[in-house]
Structure 1
Amino acid sequence: MRQACRGFTLLELMVVMVLIGVLLGMVGLATGNHSASLARQEANGLIQLLQTLREHAVLEGREYGLRLEPEGYQVLRLEGQAWRPAGSAYRLPQGLQLRLAQTGQASALGERPGQPHLLILSSDENTAFTLHLQTDQHVLISLSSDGLSEAALDE
């Protein structure tokens, strides 16, 4: 009488290894580039913020501004002759940075403390801009406005 075999055959081990490889490949495709998806999510959040500020500016007859730093931004409101914070500053996730271009030239962020880089006016206009979300190496996504239309993603 033959004794029962213990263990797995080479074929069974190979099939399991192929299945694990396929599953890992599918997970990799589903998650994609984390930095790129995070940048897209942040850009969509910025677009929504700008749309909300534009609506508030028109409805309230107030002027708003957006102060940009390489690692975040803050909403400002014009009160009399001075810009005042309208809420706390927002910090971008680790690894993402902002870069602003106006009239085709890069603008230095962090200059003019307390002053906004982008204006959102009660006349339903805003500063024309292109804002890049990037890592240290390259631009991941950009959003822009011509000053009259809503901000939109640049694909």
Structure 2
Amino acid sequence: MSGMRRILRDVWFNVVVTHPIWPQRSRAWLLKVGGVKARGAGILSGTRVIGGSRVVIGPGSFVNTGCTFDAGAMIELGENVSVGPGATFLTSTHQVGGRDARAGSVVLAPIRVGSGAWIGARVVVLPGVTIGPGAVIAAGSVVTEDCVGHSLHAGVPARFKKFLS
């Protein structure tokens, strides 16, 4: 992608689409124009999307204000997923480099969130994580590894706390 095209895409996603003037339905349509698949999802203002064509948000899902989707690899949210304000989904990291540059080569890995899951406020989901259906991730948690379905995970790093009925 050319430099100018990348700039225009970033302006589209992070200035035009995220502006509070747009109602939720219009915002979902504008995101679709930019490549995000979010049919039937509610997405509030202030949500940043990087790499929009690699974001799929299932019907009935809700993304609260100020969330970030850094989609160097796929990010898939199932149906009826709730995402709290300020949550961040990161699909890229770095290998640990040598003495002169500790941030080495970029590593990309997808994120998957199962249907009915609830991602709390300010949760950070790191590359390669799968969150099972019906899982709850407590506010402020950092998810570094897979979370089983229908369970509660909390903390930094997020740890299994209990199964949910």
Question: How would you bin the TM-score normalised by the shorter chain?
Answer: under 0.3
Higher helix proportion: 1
- Higher normalized contact order (CA 8 Å, seq sep 6+, divided by chain length): 1
- TM-score of the pair, normalised by structure 2: 0.21
